[in-house]
Amino acid sequence: MSDRLIDRWVSGTASAEDRAELIELIEADPTLVKKIFLAAEHDGLLRDYFGVMPKITLEPPQTVRPNTRTYARQRARLRLSRWLPLGVSAAAVLFFAILIINVMGSKPNPHSDNTPSVVTPEQKTTPTDKPTDFVIAPPAKNPAFPKPAYSKDIPLPPLKPQNDNVQNSQISNNMPVTNTTEKPTLKPEPQIAQVIKPQPVSGYIRLDGELKNNDNALIMRYALHIPATLPATKQLGLVLAFHGAGGNEKRTGDPILAALQQHDNNPNMVVAALKSAGENWTADDENNIISFINWALETYPIDRRRIVIQGTSNGGWLVNYFGSRHPELIAGVVAVCGGNGFQMPTKKPLNAAETGFEYYIAHGTADVDVEVKHARGVAESLRQNGYRYVYREYPGVGHNVYADKYTRNDFAAWLSRLRHKTMPLSDDDTKALAAYKKTDQAEALLLTKAGGETLIRIGGLPVEKILARAIRSKNPAVRARAIHLFAQTSCMPGASTLIASGLDDKDAAVRIAAINTLSRIGDWNDQDALIALCRFAGDRKSELSERVMTVTALTESIALRCSPTVSNQLIYELLVHLLDDDEETLRTLAFSTLKKLQNDHFGYDAQLPAKERREPVIAWRRWYIELFNPTPAKP
């Protein structure tokens, strides 16, 4: 009964009796509305099938609407059959209503040169990309962090340097985890999501399309995720996502956008998933990608300092290849399970850490499709040439690292703060930063939500200089705020040295901000941050609650879920050291983490008195030494 009525209702053939009957049924069961909607939706599907779904034509405000023939015909019929009886006056009212809406809703051109309201035209600034008020020292020259005090307690293998030039070394020699069968069993449990289905994304709309050249020949298919409202100035980031072998653009961008939103509800980024010309990405796609980037820069308000490329598998090979060949375009590269397409840039930067791109590599050791040696090769090239990089190697994980949402969320947060290190600021951003020129003004702005958001958005060295100045403020709230903002902007080497000064601050809020920020950047292979944190956590004079907070952050880091490498050696060292700490809370915390990494607990119990702990602690130290400096196997 209801089906018949619903069908008549949506097909426009319902009589007054049908309507009355339908209303009765709805009053008795309001869920019937769902059936009506689904019937209406099905009607739309039939119209799609027969190709008669009206074409919606939207014109910019203040212009006359050019209706298509179909739409014009329908409107004419509508006016005749429905509106004419209402009289000419109703039509006139509607006309004026539309006119008023159009006039009132006129939108400024998104590419107009509107400047932020805090900046006046007189505030023409001097370039801020040259360091004037402080110089960030490279990590090796930083005197602030001597060898951690606790390292004197036990003879430990030296930490592997990150940036030394080891010309002839093999990756397997520098990364002892290569012989995974020889290593103690680690038990990381990455959350592997088997199904990645598109989810609705608030604040974003999706656009599938084809980029064509002037001769109408296809350059590239794409799926764009665009913020629903475009900013007036060029400030969006651009993430280019490259699919794996035989893949396509349709869903490649979805998980990245979800991860970006996990990090920031309004990530201010365009995500573009691209499709290779052939089935897979090859070197022949290079020019098409450049064309796409140029088109995107022309079409959307994108800040060219914020272009990051991300690829998985064959797409990982592509980003290694393309990124290394175009450092002038790219702020960062994320290669997941990718082949080694890395080529040393022809113009090798003098100080790659301070002027080159940043890299994030993730790979599973059990990957049989693209072996982990490729990722190790890229990491080694980066290390030898002094680039900053994050290397995540997941023991026992195959060719599905990308399915690990923690990894996706991690690299999303990592890439959000990247800015091209040598590209100058836009005029708009230079003007916006002029408001922070005077110290008192800068501090006042820094404490406001909008002021902080502006700094996070602009990012890069000019902003780090402002924050570095704020760290020296007399106002503890400003110091804490500056350190907090560093967590989302820091991408230059040496910043952690400044942030670490907050660990010795008299104000607890500043110390906590420093712990949080250093934990964040320490998880991205910033050895200065890790040294500072480990020293703080290992120092028995530090506040217990803050030591616990530090150790908790380190044990929850993604670095610790990865194979033991130079990136996480310090964390292991700290945990072993804490097994013999005076505080039982810390001993328990360290042991609860270590026992997940090693099946044999060596008889250790955190509640044992100091004397009885001695033997188990020595056994743990031996385990640690063997883990990072294994005894060569006898022939």
Partner 1 sequence: MSDSAPQDLWARALVEQNQRWLTAYFLAATGDRNIADDLTQEVFQQALTSQQNYDPNKPFGAWLRGIARHMLFRHYRTSKRQLLPLGDKLIEHLDAVATETEHRQIDPDWQPNRLSALRACMDELTERVRAMLTLKYQEELASKDIADRFRMKTNAVDMAMSRARRVLEECVSKKLGQQENETGIL
Query: Applying CB under 8 A, which of residues 114, 173, 179, 213 lies at the interface with partner 1?
Result: 213
Q: Residue 64: phi, psi to the nearest 5? A: -80, 135
Q: Which of 69, 82, 130, 449 binds partner 1 (CB under 8 A)?
A: 82
Q: Which amino acid makes up residue 149?
A: A
d(CA 320, CA 506): 45
Q: In this complex, which beta carbon is closest to partner 1, that of residue 229 or of residue 448?
A: 229
In the window 155-194, what residues touch partner 1 (CB under 8 A)?
Answer: 194
* Residues contacting residue 34 through CB under 8 Å, at least 6 positions apart: none
The H-assigned helical ranges of 165-253 are 171-174
Segment contacting partner 1 by CB under 8 A, of 227-235, 353-361, 548-556, 575-583:
227-235
Q: How many residues bind partner 1 (CB under 8 A)?
A: 101
SS3 420: coil
Asked if 13 touches partner 1 (CB under 8 A), the answer is: yes
Q: What phi and psi, each to the nearest 5 degrees, are found at residue 303?
A: -80, 115
CB 425 within 8 A of CB 130: no
23 is a site residue for partner 1 (CB under 8 A) = yes
Rounded to 5°, the CA angle 481-574-486 comes to: 15
Q: Rounded to whole angstroms, how far apart are CA atoms 447 and 444?
A: 6
- Nearest CB to partner 1, comparing residues 94 and 283: 94
Choose between 291 and 384: whose C-beta lies nearer to partner 1: 291
583 CB-contact burial (10 Å; exposed 0-12 / middle 13-18 / buried 19+)? middle
Q: Confirm if 25 and 35 have CB atoms less than 8 A apart.
A: no
Instruction: State yes or no: residue 223 binds partner 1 (CB under 8 A).
Output: yes
- Report the site for partner 1 in 334-393 (rule: CB under 8 A): none
Q: In angstroms, rounded to a whole number, what is the distance separating the alpha carbons of residues 485 and 454?
A: 11
196 touching partner 1, by CB under 8 A: yes
Near partner 1 by CB under 8 A: residue from 89, 112, 181, 265: 265
The least CB distance from residue 64 to partner 1, in Å, is: 12
Question: CB-wise, 106 or 168, nearer to partner 1?
Answer: 106
User: By CB under 8 A, which span of 13-21, 312-320, 380-388, 435-443 interacts with partner 1?
Assistant: 13-21
Closest separation between CB of residue 245 and partner 1, Å?
14
Distance, CA of 149 to CA of 145 (rounded, Å):
10
Q: Which helix (H) or strand (E) holds 227?
A: strand 218-227
What residue spans of 216-325 are helical by DSSP H? 254-263, 286-299, 314-325
Separation CA 567–CA 455 (nearest Å): 29
Site for partner 1 in 57-76 (CB under 8 A): 58, 60-61, 65, 71, 74-75
Question: Residues 2, 21, 54, 137: which binds partner 1 (CB under 8 A)?
Answer: 54
With contacts defined by CB under 8 A, name the span among 98-106, 377-385, 539-547, 562-570 that binds partner 1. 98-106
* 424 sits near partner 1 (criterion: CB under 8 A): no
The yes or no reply on residue 437 touching partner 1 (CB under 8 A) is no
From the list 438, 586, 451, the residue with the least C-alpha distance to 133 is 438
Identify the residue among 39, 277, 297, 477 touching partner 1 (CB under 8 A). Answer: 39
Q: Which of 84, 91, 92, 98 binds partner 1 (CB under 8 A)?
A: 98
> In this structure, how many other beta carbons lie within 10 angstroms of the beta carbon of residue 631?
8
Q: Pick the binder of partner 1 from 28, 66, 69, 85 (CB under 8 A).
A: 85
Measured distance CA(589)–CA(610) in Å, rounded: 17
Minimum distance from CB of 413 to partner 1 (Å)? 18
Interacting span for partner 1 (CB under 8 A) from 32-40, 318-326, 372-380, 499-507 = 32-40
Residues 482, 467 contacting (CB under 8 angstroms): yes
Residue from 145, 150, 300, 436 binding partner 1 (CB under 8 A): 300
Shortest distance in whole angstroms from residue 257 CB to partner 1: 10
Tokens 């967590």 identify what position?
A: 487
Q: How far is the CB of 305 from partner 1 (least distance, A)?
A: 19
Whether the Cβ atoms of residue 313 and residue 338 lie closer than 8 Å to each other: yes
Structure token pair of residue 354: 């301070």
46 is an interface residue for partner 1 by CB under 8 A: yes
Of positions 10, 308, 518, 578, contacts partner 1 by CB under 8 A: 10
Q: How far apart are the first and last CA of the chain?
A: 85
Q: Smallest distance, Å, CB 25 to partner 1?
A: 11
Residue 550, both tokens: 């530090």
Question: Could you tell me the sign of the dihedral formed by the alpha carbons of 545, 546, 549, 551, in that order?
Answer: negative
Q: Map the footprint of partner 1 across residues 391-410, applying CB under 8 A.
A: none
Closest contact distance (angstroms) between CB of 301 and partner 1 is: 7
- Any contact of residue 266 with partner 1 (CB under 8 A)? yes
Binder among 30, 66, 278, 609 for partner 1 (CB under 8 A): 30
Contact 587, 579 (CB under 8 A): yes
Cβ burial of 76 (10 Å; 0-12, 13-18, 19+) is exposed
**β-strand 204-212 against 218-227: which pairing, if any?**
antiparallel
List 1, 56, 350, 368, residue binding partner 1 (CB under 8 A): 56
| Contact string (CB under 8 A) for partner 1, positions 245-264, x = contact | -----xx-------------
Interaction between residue 45 and partner 1 (CB under 8 A): yes
Answer for which of 144, 154, 159, 211 binds partner 1 (CB under 8 A) is 211
Task: Pick from 31, 117, 168, 631 the residue near partner 1 by CB under 8 A.
Answer: 31
The residue type at 327: P
C-beta of 18 vs 546, nearer to partner 1: 18
Q: Which of 49, 88, 132, 634 binds partner 1 (CB under 8 A)?
A: 49
Alpha-carbon distances, residue 270 vs 205, 402, 481 (angstroms): 10, 20, 28
What does the DSSP 8-state code read for residue 141? G
- Segment 450 to 489, residues that bind partner 1, using CB under 8 A: none
Is 404:394 a contact under the CB 8 Å cutoff?
yes
Could you say whether residue 77 binds partner 1 (CB under 8 A)? yes
Q: Does 630 bind partner 1 (CB under 8 A)?
A: no
